[in-house]
Amino acid sequence: MGGRNHSERVIGGTPEEQRLAMEELQGVFDETDPKLVGYEVEKSTDEKAMIEKVEAIVDEMVEKWGGDPKPVPLKKIQVLKPGAVDATSDGSYGGRGVHKPLRANIGVERTGSRVGFGSVLAHELFHLKSYKSAQIDKWTKEVDLYRSGFSMIDRKNPPGEFGKKREYFSDLEEGIVAECANRFFDRMKSEPLFEKEMAANEKIKQWVLNACRRREMPKEKLRILEREWKYIPDAEKYAQQIESFSEVETEREDFAWGTFSYLYENNKVEIRERYSQRNRLYQLCDEICAKSGGRFVDSEAVFNEFAKANFTGNYLTIGRVVDGALGKGSFRRLAEETSGDPRNNDARKP
Ligand SMILES: [Zn+2]
């Protein structure tokens, strides 16, 4: 199939075991995810164009954060029938995209929205293009994921949980990826493949926000709606309907509000993904910025350090930043506080 698997290195085991592990990783890299094959549909010309564009933008962004993005063969980005992600992940994820870090495989469900397809794909690509390394399990000798971006899988034998693996920083990694996907989303506004739908979506968003302001929605609620709005399906159709409904702007706003409310009640409004993980990251960046003694001009500068660590795999700088601002041992504590069971992340929803 061509290309090298994405793991930078294998840790643990003997040199010979490491060589065999690399061969095994190359083997799974050279095949598509067999679990998803039954749900795969043939990619349309349009989907192929979107995949090519989205990957190019993601790579460019990853490079800006110091990463070394590896190509993902087209065959390994599988377009799936709607509902496939739930069907192949015990129904517990509820997302439309899935990625396998060691396999370097992505599945994205087909949707009527280009913006929806592109943004889910970008999210999963940011996971894949994060720093990767593998490990040989000390007891079972199996090849396992060690690092995926900011996260690290380890057996730390916590009391009473002998041999249980933990994924340290897993919530933080998810927050970083979701925030990168957020920035990608905003960039879609100026991409020819997505700009028409993005413009229609933005129009509806502004009508709805204006309607909310006239209804004196509390400022905090308004701020969250503005920040977390992603898109509504069929935005171009709805924008046309709203425009032809009236020439009067306030009437358009009210009509847009009615449309939005209806779609929201029917779970059709897409909001930005991973709210709690991103919020945690925002708070952390704010706190570090405030306590950094002027080292960082703003929270954005702190976020850039987290993103750099995610894509280069280097914990050293960010560890010093965290401990320097929040006190010795804070980085270690953060690893625990944002950890999870790696099995829960076998398939990640966006
Ligand atoms: Zn994710």
- Tell me the CA–centroid distance for residue 244 and ligand 1, in Å: 39
> 95-129 pLDDT, tens per residue?
899 999 999 999 999 999 999 999 999 999 999 99
- Tell me the CA–centroid distance for residue 60 and ligand 1, in Å: 19
- Tell me the CA–centroid distance for residue 348 and ligand 1, in Å: 5
- Tell me the CA–centroid distance for residue 241 and ligand 1, in Å: 34
> Which residues keep their CB under 5 angstroms from ion ligand 1?
348
pLDDT band at 344 (very low <50, low <70, confident <90, very high): low
- Grouping H, G, I as helix, E, B as strand and the rest as coil, residue 176 is helix
- Tell me the CA–centroid distance for residue 344 and ligand 1, in Å: 12
- Tell me the CA–centroid distance for residue 220 and ligand 1, in Å: 26
- Tell me the CA–centroid distance for residue 125 and ligand 1, in Å: 9
Q: Highest mean pLDDT: which of 84-98, 129-143, 215-229?
A: 215-229
> 302-329 pLDDT, tens per residue?
999 999 999 999 999 999 999 999 999 9
- Tell me the CA–centroid distance for residue 177 and ligand 1, in Å: 6
> 247-303 pLDDT, tens per residue?
999 999 999 999 999 999 999 999 999 999 999 999 999 999 999 999 999 999 999
Least confident of 3-7, 110-114, 345-349: 345-349
DSSP assignment string, 57-120: HHHHHHHHTT--PPP--GGGEEEE-TTHHHHHTTT----SEEEETTTTEEEEE--S-HHHHHHH
Model confidence, pTM:
0.93
- Determine phi and psi for 73, rounding to 5 degrees: -55, 140
Q: Which residues partner with 80 through β-bridges? A: 40, 109
pLDDT band at 1 (very low <50, low <70, confident <90, very high): very low
Q: Which of 258, 237, 202 shows the shortest CA–CA distance to 112? A: 237
- Tell me the CA–centroid distance for residue 123 and ligand 1, in Å: 6
- Tell me the CA–centroid distance for residue 253 and ligand 1, in Å: 34
- Tell me the CA–centroid distance for residue 169 and ligand 1, in Å: 13
Domain ranges for the chain, please list them: 10-190, 195-271, 276-337
- Tell me the CA–centroid distance for residue 48 and ligand 1, in Å: 22
User: In which element (H, E) is residue 218 found?
Assistant: none
- Tell me the CA–centroid distance for residue 350 and ligand 1, in Å: 4
Do the beta carbons of residue 207 and residue 252 sit within 8 Å? yes
- Tell me the CA–centroid distance for residue 24 and ligand 1, in Å: 25
- Tell me the CA–centroid distance for residue 98 and ligand 1, in Å: 8
Query: How far apart, in Å, do the first and last CA atoms of the chain sit?
Result: 27
pLDDT of residue 166: 87
- Tell me the CA–centroid distance for residue 213 and ligand 1, in Å: 33
- Tell me the CA–centroid distance for residue 118 and ligand 1, in Å: 14
- Tell me the CA–centroid distance for residue 265 and ligand 1, in Å: 25
- Tell me the CA–centroid distance for residue 256 and ligand 1, in Å: 31
